[in-house]
Amino acid sequence: MRILLIEDDEALGQALLEALGDAGYVAEWVRRGDDAAEMALDAAYDLALLDLGLPRMDGIEVLRHIRQRRDAYLPVIIITARDRPAHRIAGLDAGADDYVVKPFDPDELIARIRSQLRRRDGRGSNIISVRAVDLDLAGATVRLNGEPVAMSARELKVLTLLMRRAGRFVSKEDVNAAIYDDSADIESNTVEVAVSVIRRKLGRDFIVTARGLGYTVPK
Ligand code: CA
């Protein structure tokens, strides 16, 4: 299990890194909010511990970024000195799974990590299967008839959206929105290009286009 430790306090970060290691977890420590927001998108992480007062980007912003941008669900436990109910509410509303106030007992934190990982496993498989294609959201991998198929990040986003809504049409605008955070510099044929590459890799009929309706992955 890999844990992303997001904490700018040197002493606490060091102590947590050791406690996580002792508990058998592989932990990577990042101190800046903006770096954390990028690293957390890596599907290899199973859980994140998130401080709120961080340089460059506040922890709440980091959390919103993760919830908007990451396909596979990442359990996030906030670790913070902000102990007012309004702070807890803001953290939970932004998508935190748990909220632990400093100072805390490292053993209790480890127990809460175990609990979150159990719950995540209980959410069931992270694999979406449609016909001969298996998409593993956690590992961000695609298999066709059991054989791995390489996909770019953009192709994966398009494929994930269409497979999640398999059997229903998705408009080109919605596919575009899934690729980009905002409308900046969208090239008009980006979606078409991604869809055509996916078809080449997974078979022509895997994605069906209908004029005026958009795209669908038939079940
Ligand atoms: Ca801090």
Q: What is the pTM of this model?
A: 0.59
Q: Encode pLDDT of 60-90 as tens digits.
A: 999 999 998 887 789 999 999 999 999 999 9
How much is the mean pLDDT over the chain?
90
In the block, residue with structure tokens 């959410």: 123
What's the 153 CA to ligand 1 centre distance in angstroms? 32
What's the 110 CA to ligand 1 centre distance in angstroms? 20
The β-bridge relationship of strands 133-136 and 127-130 is antiparallel
For residue 126, name the pLDDT band (cuts at 50, 70, 90): confident
Q: Encode pLDDT of 157-191 as tens digits.
A: 999 999 988 888 999 888 888 777 555 555 668 88
**Residue range 135-152: mean pLDDT, rounded:** 87
Q: Encode pLDDT of 88-125 as tens digits.
A: 999 998 999 999 999 999 999 999 999 898 887 665 56
What's the 37 CA to ligand 1 centre distance in angstroms? 15
Query: CA-CA distances (angstroms) from residue 152 to 124, 155, 158?
Result: 26, 5, 10
- Report pLDDT for 102: 95
What's the 99 CA to ligand 1 centre distance in angstroms? 15
**Residue range 46-67: mean pLDDT, rounded:** 96
What's the 35 CA to ligand 1 centre distance in angstroms? 14
**Residue range 196-219: mean pLDDT, rounded:** 94
For residue 45, name the pLDDT band (cuts at 50, 70, 90): very high
What's the 11 CA to ligand 1 centre distance in angstroms? 11
What's the 33 CA to ligand 1 centre distance in angstroms? 10
For residue 1, name the pLDDT band (cuts at 50, 70, 90): confident
Q: Encode pLDDT of 10-27 as tens digits.
A: 999 999 999 999 999 999
